[in-house]
Amino acid sequence: MTEFERVLVNSFNAYIKEKGIRAISYRLKQHRFTSQFLDVLVDSLDPDLYLGIECKSISVDKGANALYFSQHFTVDKKGIHQIERISDYLNRSGRKGFLAVELRLGTGREREAYMVPWEELEKFYRTKNLKLTVEEIRSFPEIKRNGKDYTINPREWERKNR
């Protein structure tokens, strides 16, 4: 589990506890020879919190200027792209999907994170755009920092959908 995923799960669980919501956020254990559908799952009867989140992190300080669909996502043995696999899982499970993107800005600078609604990511992928630029990522709702944690607000992420 990456630090970003761990902090996101902890932030969701703190939000759930604070609001008194019957829900739980967790990270499925990844096994060596089986593919994992998503990085973070949130289970709740509240449809705003029945979520599947894929996490990606790019190092802007080391020159990354985009999240590339060929480089940052996998293709399985059957030739199925990770975006297609996740889309199928989200459609069949009824979960709302998001791509959480962390931008690492370098030593001494806070990281930024953004929540891309899965439908928007699918549009980029289906129109044969090969990447999401850092500028495009920053046009999506930011996951605000609260100290070392994130402020969780799923309704805000949906409302600010481009």
CA dist., res. 11 & res. 6, Å (int): 9
At 39-90, the pLDDT tens digits run: 999 999 998 899 999 999 998 888 788 898 888 888 888 888 899 999 999 9
User: What DSSP designation does 8 have?
Assistant: H
Domains, the chain: 1-154 (3.40.1350.10)
Residues 114 and 54 sit within 8 Å (Cβ to Cβ): no
Which of residues 37 and 125 earns the better pLDDT score? 125
The pLDDT confidence band at residue 102, using thresholds 50, 70 and 90, is: very high
Percent of the chain residues past pLDDT 70, beyond the cut: 93
Cα–Cα nearest to 96, from 53, 153, 45, 152: 53
Is the pTM here over 0.95, yes or no?
A: no
Identify which of 8, 7, 25 has the alpha carbon closest to the alpha carbon of residue 16. 25
Concatenated DSSP letters for 115-159?
A: EEEHHHHHHHHHTT--EEEHHHHHTSPB--EETTEE---HHHHHH
**Amino acid of residue 8:** L
pLDDT at 98 over 70: yes
pLDDT of residue 159: 56
Average pLDDT over residues 147-151: 87
131 band by pLDDT with thresholds 50, 70 and 90: confident
Give the pair of three-digit tokens for residue 35. 């593919």
pLDDT tens digits, one per residue of 19-38:
999 999 999 776 666 667 89
The Cα 78–Cα 82 span in angstroms is 11
Half-sphere exposure (Cβ direction) of 25: Cα atoms closer than 13 Å:
21
Task: Provide CB contacts within 8 A for 146, sequence distance 6+.
Answer: 11
